[in-house]
Copies of this chain bind each other. A is one copy, B any other.
Amino acid sequence: MSAQEREMIQVEEAWRRIEAKAVPLPPRQAALLEALGCILAQDIFAAEDVPAVPSSTMDGFAVLAADGSTRRRVVAEQRAGLALGLRLEPETAVRIMTGAPLPEGADAVVPVEEVRGEGDFIVVEGPVRQGQYVRARGSDIAAGQLLLRAGTELGPAELGLLAAVGLTHVPVHPWPRVALITTGDEVVPVECAPAPGQVRNSNAVALQAALLQLGLQPTMLRHVPDDLEQTEEALLAAASVADVILTSGGVSMGERDRVRDALNRLGQVHFSRVAVRPGKPLTFASIGATLVFAVPGNPVSSLVSFELFVRPALRRMAGHRRLFRPQVMARLEHPIRHEPDRTEFQRAIVQKREDGYWARTTGPQSSSRLLSLVGANALLRLPAGVAEFPHGAAVSALLVDQPEVP
């Protein structure tokens, strides 16, 4: 075992080493709907005015305000979408629909509700103000204007805006391609009945779901037994197609922990023990330009390691700046004891009350007990060095979902 392997680092140092390697991926052009949730990689300026011509904001009649008439002859109809090439003369009116371009010579719209019809004529009693009910050229978007800054997350409104100015593709930081490799002799597919001592591959399902929540479909998905050759082969295959490899299992200190061995042979290990519970054997490595997150095989450890380290790393590679979950201080509804040798993240339910946030844990916190994650909306951070937290003590909580409301 190398000195590096024995080294146990703190959570903050683990994140610093990840942050240094998990840098934003180079931009590529993406079609608008593919770009949903992605981060824009360049400033976008408007190439044109919206609207391109002055347009009506109401159904009504286009007129020249300055002609001062109360009675105008209706000479034509201007529907939305069909520019008739009309020129409006004083004391006439053109029937117009919402969104339709104003005829040349018109400078105001009188809504249909404010007009009385008299045969071919309309009568307008009140004054008509120049520009009323007219969207001026470029009033929504002016040509040359900065529309979206690099770094903006693209949601429905941002994509609609890009569509409005005719951009069908935009430069974004893509999400990393992720290969998922589960490991273990004892692991059988979910649809199989496990023999005594075997377990179903729940990690394959849970980690795929965690990736899907980010909008990521794994590029490669494989299970390998505890065999060094097969593990190396799978890691090399994954490194050739993925930006990130996520493995589960095989990183403890046992003889069969082939992922640890294979990473030492194939790549560079940046750390392989973190002073955290659950998740101590978390290993971070590189194989060429591909980053490897090797999370422990216990179901809770794998999901909590994903939440604490892998998810923020994937977000950072995708250009996001807000990497972590919101954090609040919550008071404990009941006393908590923990092993003070490492920082622990206990699964909890945080409630938002009149007097602030309150937290209760989700029962036994064994790292094999997935039920401890069910219904949890927070991870309570219990620092090392303190064994007991009394009722009412304030602890830091990472909100992985919205707080409960009583």
Q: Is the CB of B212 within 8 A of A191?
A: no
Q: Is the CB of B370 within 8 A of A160?
A: yes
Q: Say yes or no: A185-B371 contact (C-beta < 8 A), given A36-B209, A97-B254, A199-B164.
A: no
Q: Is the CB of A163 within 8 A of B206?
A: yes
Q: Say yes or no: A164-B202 contact (C-beta < 8 A), given A157-B370, A186-B80.
A: yes
- A17-25, A134-142, A265-273: which lies at the B interface? A134-142
Residues of B within 8 A of A401 (CB): 155
Contact of A197 among B83, B370, B402 (CB under 8 A): B83
Q: Is the CB of B161 within 8 A of A366?
A: no
Q: Is the CB of B164 within 8 A of A98?
A: no
Which residues of A (68-119) have their CB < 8 Å from a CB of B?
79-83, 97-101, 112
Residue of A57, A198, A202 with most partner-chain B CB within 10 A: A202
- A239-247, A285-293, A373-381, A383-391: which lies at the B interface? A373-381
- A48-56, A228-236, A337-345: which lies at the B interface? A48-56
- Is A171 located at the chain interface by the 8 A CB criterion? no
Q: Say yes or no: A140-B83 contact (C-beta < 8 A), given A156-B213, A209-B159, A252-B59.
A: no
Query: Interface majority SS on A: helix, strand, loop or mixed?
Result: loop
What residue in chain B is nearest A322 (Cβ atoms)? B402
Q: Is the CB of A210 within 8 A of B370?
A: no
Q: Say yes or no: A98-B200 contact (C-beta < 8 A), given A33-B209, A157-B206.
A: no
Q: Is the CB of B256 within 8 A of A161?
A: no
Which residues of A (138-197) have their CB < 8 Å from a CB of B?
139-141, 147-148, 152, 155-166, 168, 184-187, 190-191, 193-197
Contact of A371 among B81, B147, B194 (CB under 8 A): B147
Q: Say yes or no: A164-B200 contact (C-beta < 8 A), given A186-B99, A208-B33.
A: yes
How many A residues, CB 8 Å from partner?
91
- Is A351 located at the chain interface by the 8 A CB criterion? no
Q: How far is the CA of A159 from the CA of B6 in the complex (A)?
A: 34
Q: How far is the CA of A124 from the CA of B185 in the complex (A)?
A: 28
B-contact bits for A284-302, CB 8 A (1 contact / 0 none): 0000000000000101000
Q: Is the CB of A53 within 8 A of B140?
A: no
Q: How far is the CA of A317 from the CA of B97 in the complex (A)?
A: 36
Q: How far is the CA of A195 from the CA of B82 in the complex (A)?
A: 8
Residues of B within 8 A of A166 (CB): 190-191, 193, 200
Residues of B within 8 A of A28 (CB): none
Q: How far is the CA of A79 from the CA of B155 in the complex (A)?
A: 50
- Is A130 located at the chain interface by the 8 A CB criterion? no
Q: How far is the CA of A195 from the CA of B81 in the complex (A)?
A: 8
Residues of B within 8 A of A63 (CB): none
- Is A207 located at the chain interface by the 8 A CB criterion? yes
Residues of B within 8 A of A195 (CB): 83
Q: Is the CB of B371 within 8 A of A141?
A: yes
Residues of B within 8 A of A369 (CB): 139-141
Q: Is the CB of A168 within 8 A of B191?
A: yes
Residues of B within 8 A of A361 (CB): none
Residues of B within 8 A of A148 (CB): 374
Q: How far is the CA of A202 from the CA of B201 in the complex (A)?
A: 44
Q: Is the CB of A206 within 8 A of B252?
A: no
Q: Say yes or no: A100-B197 contact (C-beta < 8 A), given A168-B191, A203-B160, A402-B326.
A: yes
A-B contact pairs, 21 of them (CB 8 A): A32-B209, A33-B209, A37-B213, A59-B252, A59-B253, A59-B255, A79-B185, A80-B186, A81-B184, A82-B186, A97-B254, A101-B196, A147-B371, A152-B375, A155-B213, A156-B303, A161-B202, A161-B370, A166-B190, A166-B191, A168-B190
Given contacts A100-B186, A139-B369, A164-B200, 15 further A-B contacts (CB under 8 A): A51-B199, A59-B254, A97-B256, A98-B252, A99-B184, A99-B297, A101-B197, A135-B366, A141-B371, A152-B375, A157-B373, A159-B206, A163-B204, A164-B299, A326-B402
